[in-house]
Each structure stands twice: as C-alpha cells, then as structure tokens.
Chains A and B, each alone.
Chain A
C-alpha cells in the first residue's frame, strides 16, 4: 500500500501545542471542581475566568509522537503488538485498534508550572484558588492532547489515512504499569516527562497514549460508552 509506505515510521515528531489554542471552557472547570452541571455562582465564575487568563503564562505545553508500523492485534483481542513489544491492552482497546495498520505513541504535558502554582496557593491557605488552578491544568493538558491528536489527524489525512480515538494506559483495563513498556519506545525524558518506578508521570499534568492509523479506521466523538468509570467528570459533562 502506497499510503502506509509514506508514513514517517519510528521518527520522532515533536509538536509545541499552541497556548492560544488551549481554549478552556469554564463549564468544564465548574464540573471539575465538583459543581453540578449548569450550576453558576458569580464569585466562583469570576475566579475561574481570572485563573484561566492568568494560567497561559504558567504553561509550557510540549508533545510529540512516534509511529510504529508493526501493529498487530492478537486474535484473542487481549494483546496488541507494536514497537516490537506486546501490550496487554485488553479487549475494549484492542478491538478498537484491530483495523489499524500502524500506531502513534504519544506524550503530552503542560509542564510543571501550573501544579507548582496550585501547590503554592494551597500552602498559603488559598485552598479554593489552588483547587481551581489544578482543575484548569487538567483541562489544559486535555486540550493540548486534543491539538496533538488533530495534528496527527491532519498529517495522516494528507497520506489518505484515517486515525482512531486515543487510548491511554490505565484506562479501559490497560494496566497503568505498562507505561514502562510504552516509555521504552521513546527517548528518556522526552517532552520533559519522567516516569517513576510506580508508573507516575512527572509533571503530573501529563498524558500518554496510542492512536491507531490506517486506511479503514475512523476517529469518533469522545466514547464514554466504551469506558466503565462511573465517577469520571467527562462522563458527567458529555452524557
């Protein structure tokens, strides 16, 4: 197939997500800090708006991906093979990837600035502001991931290829401990992200994952119905 032969295989593609495109919806932050949907309080809303505008200068988004074209879904749909390694991605994710012919392994972070700011505020007794900063940071990194996903989508479209949704270790029964395997496919400290022995990424506001690539795959809207996390804020917002 000509399209897939043009893929930049095993090359690092580094991206700097644009700050001005990190559009943060205050409604998501409200839900993120525990309010029900449609709840509104002027004081809180003002605080959220101020923090969102001040947050831009505290973020240093970085992301990137590497494509592997040896993707194979085992017939039992429990294991995905790529980058010469076997991943226990389990059923939900493996099934979504079965039509893909290649996979992009991505990392994304907004850097440590926001979590440091949040910690400082809380340590100074400004609990609520610190809490809001944390929620804004979580949403900002999601937006940075979204930009990365969109970038890959545009690149692949030029080659006549589609992409799937994104999937992360720790979600949909893919053990979070497999972060170690995933990280072994990227250079150490890539995007400024370090992995602890217990598979925690530092800075905390970071996301890792995979995106399938192929002529017959499609990206769909956020698929909460696939996941089983009943408490997740995204489910509360999207459903």
Chain B
C-alpha cells in the first residue's frame, strides 16, 4: 500500500501522467499517476494521503525549479500528471472529505487578450492543490468583483501583456480593495515588475508559476 503512495509521489515529481505517456523515458511502460491514483483509491487508501503524496511530488519539483535543476516544462509535466490524479479525487473534493489549499481566481485584465502566461500559472497552481477559477481574458473589474462575491476567501491573480493593459490592473485592484479590503491580489505578466506591483498596491508579484505557488502557499501557511 505504501509502495503505491511512494510511486505516486515519484510520478508527480517526474511528470509521468499515465502508462502510455513516453515521458520520462526511464519510466516507459510503467504505471503513471493516473493508474496509481486509481489503484490507491481501490486499495482503500485515504484520499488525504493520496493528495499528500502528490503535494510531496509537486514540492520536490518546485524545489528543483528553485535550484535551477528543473524548468517551466518540467513544472508543466508535473502539473499534467497531477491533474490526472485530481480527476480521481474529484468525488472526495465534492463530498468535502478532502480539502484544497484554497481558491485562486485568475484572469487577464481588461483590454488584454493574451492568455498563455495566465494559463501556465493556472495549471501549476492547480497542480499544487489549489482550486482555480479562470475568468478568461479581457476581464472587467465587475467580473472580478462578481467572482470574489461568489468565492469570498479566494486570492485574486491578474495577468497583462502590454503596458497599456497593465495600467488597468491598478483600477481593478482599487475597486477590489475598496469592497473587499482583505482580499489578496497577485499580479504577473511580461511587462510587470515588483516595483510596479508595489506602486499599484498589489499584494504580490511573481515572475513565474512556481513563484506564484510560493506566494499563494505563504498566504495560507
């Protein structure tokens, strides 16, 4: 029983999604996160332990990323393996027997349609045990406000590609803070800097998905 859990953590860290996935080459033909999660549930292993194993795998890859031993592609592969497990855990999340770390509402700001950066962040954050509510692109302040009303304890993330749309973050943050002073807002995207984030009173800035996870985790620690 413990063997499944250990293997699962390894599959998450190495980004081995399922048996047929060719990556990583040294795990070819072996069961992946998908099969192992299913086996674990069938063996009656507590869903919390399954999730815990996954979190351990995600943490290991995150640590490697911080040490420049792994890069965004590896984070994405781990996130993909993780999402295969999430499918099996869904009933447990729904029944409330397993809890996620929190909710993260993310969107590309008003006037902006660039979505790949935001999607990459979503994937990795989700893989790290967060529930992600993706509002899409060209997200107006009202849309952020409505989402916060629906998910009161969520943390908000905003993405922008150009300096012309980056300025819309400031307006949205002001409106959010006026109505929900306790709501934390993270910002990111190619033209962003920590300085700009400070200037517009964002709670945090992250240049890459792993840094975003670190910030988010620090808010619930």
Question: Which residues from chain A contact B116 at a C-beta distance below 8 Å?
Answer: 118-119, 122, 130-131, 134
A119 to B120, CA, bound (A): 11
A198 within 8 A of B: yes
A138 to B116, CA, bound (A): 12
Interface size for A (C-beta < 8 A) is 30
Q: Are B25 and A43 in contact (CB under 8 A)?
A: yes
A119 to B83, CA, bound (A): 18
Question: Which residues from chain A contact B95 at a C-beta distance below 8 Å?
Answer: none
Q: Are B22 and A200 in contact (CB under 8 A)?
A: no
Q: Are B112 and A200 in contact (CB under 8 A)?
A: yes
B77 within 8 A of A: yes
A204 within 8 A of B: yes
Instruction: Map CB proximity to A onto B102-136 as digits: 1 under 8 Å, 0 otherwise.
Output: 00000000111111100110010000000000000
A57 within 8 A of B: no
Instruction: Map CB proximity to A onto B145-188 as digits: 1 under 8 Å, 0 otherwise.
Output: 00000000000000001111100100000000000000000000
19 sample A-B contacts, Cβ–Cβ < 8 Å, listed by A number: A43-B24, A43-B25, A44-B73, A122-B119, A125-B80, A127-B77, A127-B79, A127-B120, A131-B116, A134-B116, A170-B162, A175-B163, A176-B162, A176-B164, A198-B110, A198-B164, A204-B113, A204-B114, A231-B207
A-binding residues in B (CB < 8 A): 22-25, 68, 71-73, 76-77, 79-80, 83, 110-116, 119-120, 123, 161-165, 168, 207-208
B-binding residues in A (CB < 8 A): 33-36, 39, 42-44, 118-119, 122, 125-128, 130-131, 134, 170, 175-177, 196-200, 202, 204, 231
